[in-house]
Structure 1
């Protein structure tokens, strides 16, 4: 929790228009918390479950930052069902379970426990029968946590590819298109191993557009090999990969399960960025603030998106367009930070977005913002994101800090840490990607 967060007083809840800095900060933080709460598996998973199997086995597998909490939610919903299986989640994201084993592994670059978990998962679903049910619990982060190289490749190859992709500025969809081509479990191969059992996937989406094939690289979703798209990604981001990795990418799915070999998969979204933004909007309306949802799948360079958002916020404040203040601009999706050749400082997508926003706003009055990753981890840091206020640049200058310099060094975490404006939640155990909220109060 941010050290500056406070509860919102009743005067604000009743529609008071002139808010103090403390009240505005509390409001934007409440919006972020509403988004996270809307995606809590313990609250939303049970409504999407089928009837338990009557005769066959029920094997549970899963991967992602929310996998352990999803497993716990499933156990709570089905207290008397004989469940077995395992899920893999990020280090520090495990929760107690009784019937489903939880393994922790590395993210965003896989380690040997990621490979170990993938092998055990394939073994857990092998040899099942038609009357059996496999429930796959899939959420963001699963691509790194479920890392089983395809034949001819090694874990070291997968690690090198992950590092290259993370520094390239590629979108999550582009990264996962590459990852699944190099995997023995993604791109539907987990579902293929479960045949002829019935497979149901319960997913928490962290990707723009909620494409099932992109979430965790689609371990239960048939692969759509696109040689042209892969070639464009490699060329666009100038990815320098070993020759044998390039060959594996060009070979495509040769020698692996054909699409018509996969059993039917029942795929259900239990939480998405759009649902999280709807929860934010409802909270805003309850406080007398008009919400404008700009989209749940915004992409682009983080700092540049910040500049664009600053322009929209100024238009709302100064001209009442596209809506009159008090209003809040809401958006989701995943922006990118292209590191290039410059050694990066500390930071993630959200703090870089906020640094770009603050610089572009240049101390504009009446505008506050929060941006954070709903999993509680912005990039690889220990903060979900941060808060920007009208006095952000003034306070930075008073400390001898130049926000533009921090932005140029991709060191936005350090900037907001020095200002005491980081939002630290710890692992939230869910993940519907980034949430951004910009509060604009009337001018004057």
Structure 2
């Protein structure tokens, strides 16, 4: 297989994964089955896919509605009845805080005849940034930056976020009672836990203030004094906990996951098989340090090379972590790929792609990258030291210098990371 053909196949697999999670497609069957309420329909939500979700609802549901959703800068859609606000991600800003406050106000004072349709996708934790009483936006920003650099996984990060919020961890659903609350979620988290997706603003929360404190202690994060005081007060029972699964106030809440990483991986696998490839599926919920997982996947590919009689594709999803120690431009997908490229060490039969399905790897407007059998050789010819760049968390600069960055622009969906390894057997 020629290099151009290998690259094209990997990109086709990624595009198939994205197509399976397009809001207009994955929401259609649920919109078709939704009956209008006797009262008002209020559409709210947050996340990188949420504007596209709102557009799908507007386009496919002919009944009266109104609402407000918040999405990442550049991820908006042209809607007529639902207001779209763009705000910052992954560190929240004032626009996100103000939008979250307005969303909370929109669901107050509703009746039992009203329907709150909540649209949530990955990114909502940062975009729906309404600090708990006594906390400021700057407090939340400082903690968020520390968590992003710490190596904490998404469950741990969102445990903290929920307990610093006036809206997450089920509090939005409580505010909307006695209205019916129906949430449609696009999952970007391992195991598709609704309480973790976007920090579960309409979902019962199983985590506690004490667990949030434990996360900060585990990663040696010293939060602002108001944050520590707030969490300690909650752990001591002086602040009400987030609503738990048995809370009767959540009895009129329904949650449906409309798109998942697994379904996207299965769509990519179908394309690979149609091209004559053997598919090895490693799962949609892989976690751990990105560079270490990349090295492990390279070793897996090297083990398969000798016995491969047909092209083989290894697929996986999930959300790795990066413990930031350097000063480079990095993201978890390029860190994974650089770790994989170094471990593969120029093996002539191995290509790879890793990208975030939202189009943003880390804080860069770059989805991820592709590595090829000659990535290391080309980098060395340019005077780069791949191991030093990995040590400096400089994966984006590594692949950008080779012309191998994967840039999609806003995808308007988000089903977590997509990783594919292509093994082409020797002739």
1:6 maps to which residue? none
Q: Distance in 2 between matches of 1:191 and 1:126?
A: 10
The 5 Å alignment of 1:31-430 reads: 31-49=13-31, 50-78=33-61, 80-252=62-234, 254-255=239-240, 258=243, 259-320=247-308, 325-340=310-325, 342=326, 344-430=327-413
Please give the per-residue CA displacement for 1:204-233, whole angstroms capped at 9, x wherever unaligned: 000111100000100001222335533432
Report the secondary structure of 1:261's partner residue: helix
In the superposition, relative to structure 1, how do residues 120 and 256 fare at CA in structure 2: closer, same or farther (>3 Å)?
Answer: farther
1:319 is displaced (CA, Å) by: 3.6
Report the secondary structure of 2:85's partner residue: strand
1:187 is displaced (CA, Å) by: 0.6
RMSD after superposition: 1.4
Q: Which runs of 5+ in 2 are unaligned?
A: none
1:16 maps to which residue? none
In the superposition, relative to structure 1, how do residues 257 and 372 fare at CA in structure 2: closer, same or farther (>3 Å)?
Answer: closer
Q: Which runs of 5+ in 1 are unaligned?
A: 1-18
1:260 is displaced (CA, Å) by: 2.9
Q: TM-score, normalised by structure 2?
A: 0.96
In the superposition, relative to structure 1, how do residues 232 and 325 fare at CA in structure 2: closer, same or farther (>3 Å)?
Answer: farther
Q: Check conservation: 1:52, 1:81, Cα contact below 8 A.
A: no
Bigger mean CA deviation after superposition, 248-257 or 37-46: 248-257
Q: TM-score, normalised by structure 1?
A: 0.92
Q: Distance in 1 between matches of 2:311 and 2:8?
A: 15
Q: Distance in 2 between matches of 1:118 and 1:256?
A: 20
Q: Check conservation: 2:294, 2:338, Cα contact below 8 A.
A: yes
Q: Distance in 2 between matches of 1:218 and 1:163?
A: 20
Q: Distance in 1 between matches of 2:35 and 2:85?
A: 25
1:256 is displaced (CA, Å) by: 6.0
Bigger mean CA deviation after superposition, 346-355 or 43-52: 43-52
Q: Check conservation: 1:31, 1:283, Cα contact below 8 A.
A: yes
Find runs of 4+ consecutive structure 1 residues off by over 2 angstroms. Answer: 49-52, 223-232, 250-264
In the superposition, relative to structure 1, how do residues 308 and 256 fare at CA in structure 2: closer, same or farther (>3 Å)?
Answer: closer
